[in-house]
Amino acid sequence: MKVYQTNEIKNIALLGSKGSGKTTLAEAMLYECGVIKRRGTIDAKNTVSDYFPVEKEYGYSVFSTVFYAEFLGKKLNVIDCPGADDFVGNAITALNMTDTGVILIDSEYGVEVGTQNIFRTTATLKKPVIFALNQLDGEKADYDNVIEQMCEIFGPKVTPIQYPLSCGPGFNAMIDVLLMKKYSWGPDGGVPTIEEIPEEEKERAQELHQQLVEAAAENDETLMEKFFEQGHLSEDEMREGIRKGLVDRSIFPVFCVSALKDMGVRRMMEFLGNVVPFVNDMPAPVDIQGNEVKPDSDGPLSIFMFKTTVEPHIGEVQYFKVMSGTLTAGVDLDNITRGSKERIAQIYCVCGQIKTQVDKLCAGDIGATVKLKDVRTGNTLDEKGCDIAFDFVKYPAPKYQRAIRPVTESDAEKLNSILNRMHEEDPTWEIEQSKELKQTILSGQGEFHLRTLKWRVENNDKLPIIFEEPKIPYRETITKAARADYRHKKQSGGAGQFGEVHLIIEPYVEGSPVPDTYKFGNQEFKMSVRDTQEIPLSWGGKLVVHNCIVGGAIDARFIPAIVKGLMDRMEQGPLTGSYARDVRVCIYDGKMHPVDSNEISFRLAGRNAFSEAFRNANPKVLEPIYDVEVMVPSDVMGDVMSDLQGRRAIIMGMSSESGFEKISAKVPLKEMSSYSTALSSITGGRSSFTMKFASYELVPGDVQEKLLKEYSEQNTDE
């Protein structure tokens, strides 16, 4: 295989909503480039992209698939991404590694929420975008309506390159307004017939051609002057203008295809080969120190590992992009991220599960390697003396959680190893060993996302697992001051145990002064603070302890033991066993024994005195509240609102955004556990949402009573 230079390489992400036809288009692209001799189908389970067992089982893409094609003397590296919102992490990674996004739109359904989400990501990353209207042969395909919708949502930069002569099952011809030709196909697609534009279409074609010429000229002053002088541009000049417009996102070309029938695919491939930016046309990426790293084949060697898969008979396959320099097989590199050394023994160009061994790859190219010792997704490997490191792939926060455990408890360690490996393959699967909840929490982008992981663990690794509702990380606090004392006394032969602690607790508010007098009933308690400890709590809030002991009632050496007792109860609150927060404690009196007093005695006395005072201080349970934003089509907005209100949501606002309605709400985490499934059911999968932790708020009285009762019954059972 030829070694392609940086100025001969184009990297492209294939994107779109679930069902838009990306896998089918990838097959047609590979067929048109001669990489495969026969196009596979999803039904036959023989496509290049969906080759993992779980993808064949479910019939949809789970992982992004890297493939390449040699076309028109260039190398096109393409990453075909899953369309389901649950697997958005793959699309985000792909867009960071590539230079142009091709977004497929289903001509029957138009712009869907997932399409908008992906487009926002391209805007954030400042990547060029080409739209392809697919399935124009569908029963409900409506080109004009979809174009109108796209212009409304994405703005006037949407610029048709082609339009169909008819939509629906009879689709077999289109007008290309860049080349000003008519393309038509036989029933089986493939090689088109190219003809002059029919007389009845010339006016419309000329109008769209003029719009395209103007859009191309706007991106270059020289072209603009030439356009004003001559009123037209040559084909090469238009290509140059469109390329510059793509780079600065001032033009979004629209193509027409039927991926299933292989109509229009080769023409779009020609545009990708001739017009879209090369690697070195795009702004250089920036390393963690803020320095630009240009894709220079003669520069220092640096590669970024962006993807890991585990494949049968091979093991771990690591995918990388050459960020700078030229990578040759057998080179030794330093793993800048982990501080280890690696030898890249073999280099492959990849087409799905087919790997072609090569000797070298230049800056900007994408490849894979195997049998690395200590490399993780997101690591940077550099040649000796080079100190470049990248960290630019940012993933969305998880939206769906389940507690996970093996059916057989002895398999816990094996499960943890599998989960860590899977996190490497898809960083949006997040795993947390929660000390607070005493559960392993698996987080992801939705029910499909986690169900896919479960299938793989049970079918590939043969380890039965159980998903459970995760516990909620409640917090406990108090709302008024209370006093308590407790004497711990134990005598069982020999040295005994004795410790007595008197304390007052009250809610802690940052910056509030310490009262010098407390009153309970007819008794007054004057405080004289001798020492203060402020303990920031890892779960939020503080414990503030004032030593107000006078007259040596408790020796100073026992105060740390009392504080440990207080922390025991802060870590396992008296109401529900949840973490407690924002409490101020004044230890003002007590007793000790010259022989029997020790640290354990005062730790237990402090713990029990705190528990009693806490229960008398009008304690409350706090629950985590999340800011939730839901994007919904207007026709189902009422149903979504009703569902949210049934989840104790407080609606904060509503607005329209790009043809969809956006609902902003504050919702308790407890009510969000199955929300992704419910939202998909209500809206037919046409909606999406994001959630972000906002604050802890008091739970309603009836909810608190239920929680206390459940905790009490649980402790009784134990």
DSSP 595-646: TT--HHHHHHHHHHHHHHHHHTS--EEEEEEEEEEEEE-GGGHHHHHHHHHT
Reported as type and span, the H/E element at residue 11 is strand 9-16
Q: At what angle do helices 599-615 and 559-571 cross, to 10 degrees?
A: 50
CATH architecture of the domain covering 400-471: 2-Layer Sandwich (3.30)
Measuring CA to CA, which residue among 629, 671, 630, 665 is closest to residue 650?
665
Q: Let me know: does 277 contact 10? Beta carbons within 8 Å.
A: yes
Q: Do domains 400-471 and 621-703 have the same CATH topology?
A: yes
449 alpha carbon, distance to own chain's centre = 11
621-703 maps to CATH 3.30.70.260 = no
Q: CATH for 476-618? A: 3.30.230.10
Which tokens in the block code for residue 350? 């990849």
**pLDDT at residue number 84:** 85
**pLDDT at residue number 717:** 59
Phi, psi angles (nearest 5°) of residue 630: -120, 130
Q: Let me know: does 123 contact 150? Beta carbons within 8 Å.
A: no
Q: Let me know: does 104 contact 18? Beta carbons within 8 Å.
A: no
**pLDDT at residue number 214:** 86
302-382 maps to CATH 3.40.50.970 = no
- Give the residue extent of every domain in the chain: 6-281, 302-382, 400-471, 476-618, 621-703
Three-state secondary structure call for residue 405: strand
**What's the rounded Cα separation, in Å, for the pair 188 and 670?**
53
* Helical H segments across 134-234, by residue range: 143-154, 202-217, 221-230
**pLDDT at residue number 61:** 83
**pLDDT at residue number 57:** 80
Q: What are the residue ranges in the chain where pLDDT is below 70? A: 227, 231, 493-494, 658-659, 716-718
CATH assignment of 6-281, given 3.40.50.300, 3.10.180.10, 1.10.390.10, 3.40.50.880? 3.40.50.300
Which tokens in the block code for residue 454? 């479960």
- For the entire predicted model, the pTM comes to 0.84
**pLDDT at residue number 716:** 67
Q: Which residues pair with 174 in a beta bridge?
A: 164, 183
